[in-house]
Amino acid sequence: MTTATTTPAAPLALAAEFPPATEAQWRAAVDAVLKGKPFDKVLVGRTADGIPVQPLYPRKEGAAPLAGRAPGIPWTIAQRADHPDPAAANAQALEDLSGGASGLVVVTRGAIGDRRGDAMVIDGLADLDALLAGVMLDLIPLRVDAGTSAGHVAAILAAKAERDGLDPKSLTIAFGIDPIGAFARRGTLESWNGTAAKASDAVLALRARGFAGTQLLADGRVIHDAGGSEAQELAYVLGTAVQYWRMLEAAGLPLGEAARALSVVLSVDADQFLSAAKIRAMRRLWARLETACGLAPSHLDLHAETAWRMVTKVDPAVNWLRTTTAVFAAGIGGADHVVVEPWTAAIGLPDGFARRVARNTQLILIEESNLHRVADAAAGSGGIEALTDELCRRAWALFQDWEGAGGIVAALSSGTVQAAVAGVRAERATAIARRRAPLTGASEFPNVREAVPEVLTPPKRETRRGAAPIELPEAAGGERFEAQVRAFAGGAIRSALSRLKSDTIFVDPLAPARLAEPFEALRAELDALAAAGTRPKVFLAVIGPVAAFTARATFARNLFEAGGFDAPIPEPFPDAAALTAAFRASGAAIACLCSTDELYSAEATDVAKALKAAGARQLWLAGRPGDLEQGLKAAGIDGFIQAGGDVLEVLRTARGAL
């Protein structure tokens, strides 16, 4: 019997019919188009850390894939369990898990992930039982996001596992104990020594019980939520990790075990390449940190969440695109677990549809796009490799600066970290106000007639108090935590184990803020006026034919509607008298002239005078006035709107004319 053999087909050379091009030829073609404009200013972008982003990168030769998520294994599709009612949260969780989710994140009141302040309260074992009824904890990864309550929730989980006969080694739980993150978010701390003793006590007890997973968390979201840069987020995570390693070493845990006690959470946003590079940079930095400490590099349990600061209340459907891009970045970057903020999260408590979209965003990228099947898909990509290298370099340098200041807790206590984040946040706020960093649906292409999607009404549920206090031993080698486990197993609630805070350190908190909030605040004011009667209008005084005014009229409409005004573009007017009559009929208090520079020179002065005489309380002109400025102001023009101008200032000024 013989077998046929075939010769493999030659690779298909798609560019074989085109002559090879060099970078020099490309640059010459670009310079011809730029016509003398500076290449670096026009085509080279900058990240918040000042990293240049070139328009063209060669492939990075010899690049090897980073060791991250196991090749071919999907990341965990994690869903938030955050409904204030544990029973309702359980129904949502079961629906999520039956609908394709493969992990859960329990978010409690006051946690870093509780930006709206309406997450659940877990007071005792009954609440946790209600939340996790029917959930097979030995089949899914679970992460706890509980802020200052993380130690108590960990003890309740330990009591539940023991009572239910679950083998701790069979459970994959990231307990999320993160007192540094809680300090950064709240701005208060009793003392580092006392806090560290309690955290170490819990870690030692959980590890003695044999729980798989991690006990501590280094959470970069607190930096990202507050407006920090990518390098700042990475440096903060490194500093937090080192502080925890020192803490556990002092408590008697070997350094190698201390390193394996930590998980990391990073935010990913709509900057696809930068987010992917940040995930990759975290793995490289973690390996470098372990090597610097004399440890062999090990796997880092890396969680990614779509960024809170990027989502919008207005035109929230755009959040579908933002989160899809962010998940793509997390997936190719190599995250182990990914959480998607539902698209209506900024509006209120997401309903079942929003939660389904959140998990399906990931399911489609895994099941249909097979995004997980390539190990480190970005390896060798010139642009992402360059961003990864620069993020590593800058984050490591900043981490060393904060270490030199005494460590991350000392840097937070002195306000050093907060000042650095505030500087980046202020620069970004300026770029957003001037629309150099556009927010689709908020600052650009708004829709003032959009329908607001439905969200759930959260039930009011407060922490139960009044229980008789239970005395606990001092934190040491796990004794305090074990006493908490016994108390919760016996039916105790958190208030019986909590004591009045005796904080001694007070600093500026790293509070979360979404990028679109300034625009949304203006929109909300005018939306309220619209709900009470008529939406305030800006009359676009178009001059000349459609071809003459369309560009600037469209610019003006987008600008004013970003603040909640109604600014429709009218048909051309035959003369100034018809334009003035239309303004009177519109009922608007504000008008904006829109046309070409040539027509402004010929007609703008007369039109402005006519509009002022017709009752315009405020008059704008779209474009740069040039030599006409003084004459236009004398005719009644109050201000000029142009690309690069402060849009928020214009909108606030316009609001004052109502």
Among the listed residues 281, 373, 269, 380, the one whose alpha carbon sits nearest the alpha carbon of residue 333? 281
The answer to whether 47 and 230 are in contact (CB under 8 A) is: yes
> How far from chain centre, in Å, is Cα 379?
24
| Rounded distance between C-alpha atoms, residue 213 and residue 175, angstroms | 8
- Owner of token pair 């053999």: 5
Distance CA 610, CA 622 (A): 17
pLDDT above 70: residue 495? yes
Q: How many other β-carbons are positioned within 10 Å of the β-carbon of residue 363?
A: 16
Gap between the Cα atoms of 389 and 398, Å rounded:
14
pLDDT at 292: 95
Mean pLDDT of 387-405: 97
Residue 12: predicted pLDDT: 60
DSSP, collapsed to helix, strand or coil, labels residue 41 as: helix
Per-residue model confidence as pLDDT tens digits over 133-166: 999 999 999 999 999 999 999 999 999 999 999 9
Tell me where in the chain the CATH 3.40.50.280 domain(s) lie: 517-655
- Judged against a pLDDT cut of 90, whether residue 590 lies above it is answered with yes
Q: Are 178 and 453 in contact (CB under 8 A)?
A: no
Q: Which two tokens stand for residue 459?
A: 């039930």
- Its pTM stands at 0.94
pLDDT for 423 equals 98
Question: What does DSSP say about strands 45-46 and 52-53: parallel, antiparallel, or unpaired?
Answer: antiparallel
Please say if the pLDDT value at position 486 is more than 80: yes
As a whole number, the mean pLDDT across the chain is: 94
Task: For residue 480, give Cα distances in angstroms to 201, 265, 457, 472, 473.
Answer: 7, 27, 38, 6, 5
For residues 55 and 60, what is the distance between their CA atoms, to the nearest angstrom? 15
Given a cut of 60, whether residue 43 has pLDDT beyond it is yes
Within the chain, which residue ranges are assigned CATH 3.20.20.240? 76-440+501-506
Q: What is the pLDDT of residues 406-449, one digit of tens each?
A: 999 999 999 999 999 999 999 999 999 999 999 999 999 999 98
Residue 214 has pLDDT above 80, yes or no: yes
Number of alpha carbons in the 13 Å side-chain half-sphere of residue 49:
25
160: amino acid identity, one letter: K
Mean pLDDT of all residues in 87-94 = 98
Helix 546-561, helix 647-655: angle, nearest 10: 80
End-to-end CA distance of the chain: 92
Which alpha helices (DSSP H) does 213-363 contain, by range?
221-225, 230-250, 255-260, 272-292, 318-333, 352-363
Supply angle C-alpha 613, 618, 622, rounded to 5.
Answer: 105
The residues, ordered by sequence, that sit 6+ positions from 624 with a Cβ below 8 Å of its Cβ are 640, 642
The length of the chain, given as a count of residues = 658
Q: State residue 368's pLDDT score.
A: 95
What local confidence, expressed as pLDDT, does residue 7 receive? 56
Flag whether pLDDT at 5 surpasses 60. no
pLDDT at 3 over 50: no
Q: Which CATH number fits domain 517-655: 3.30.160.270, 3.40.30.10, 3.40.50.280, 3.30.360.10?
A: 3.40.50.280
Band of the pLDDT at 219, cuts 50, 70, 90? very high
Q: In the prediction, which pLDDT does 469 show?
A: 86
DSSP class of residue 137 equals T
8 pLDDT band, cuts 50/70/90, is low
The CATH class, in words, for 76-440+501-506 is alpha beta
Q: Which tens digit of pLDDT belongs to each residue from 296-321?
A: 999 999 999 999 999 999 999 999 99
Over pLDDT 70: what percentage of the chain? 97
Q: How far apart are CA 205 and CA 473, in angstroms?
A: 14
Average pLDDT over residues 98-119: 96
What pLDDT was estimated at residue 4?
Answer: 46
Q: Is the pLDDT of residue 544 over 90?
A: yes
* pLDDT at residue 460 tops 90: no
Is there a contact between 275 and 334 (Cβ–Cβ < 8 Å)?
no
Largest CA distance in the chain: 101
Task: Choose between 337 and 503: higher pLDDT.
Answer: 337
Helix 318-333 to helix 272-292 angle (10° resolution) is 30
Residue 365 to residue 190: CA distance in whole angstroms: 44
Mean pLDDT, rounded, for 329-352: 97
Q: What is the pLDDT of residue 20?
A: 82
Nearest to 620 by CA among 547, 563, 546, 575: 563
For CA atoms 263, 266, 268, 274, give the dihedral sign.
negative
CB atoms within 10 A of CB 342: 28
pLDDT digits (tens, 9 = 90+) for 241-279: 999 999 999 999 999 999 999 999 999 999 999 999 999
Q: Which of 515, 510, 424 is nearest to 223 (CA)?
A: 510
Amino acid at 196: A
What's the whole-number mean pLDDT along residues 612-631?
95
Which residue is associated with the tokens 């003084």? 630
pLDDT reported for residue 503: 80
Dist CA 404 CA 398 (whole Å): 10
Q: CA angle at residue 293 from 292 to 298, to 5 degrees? A: 90
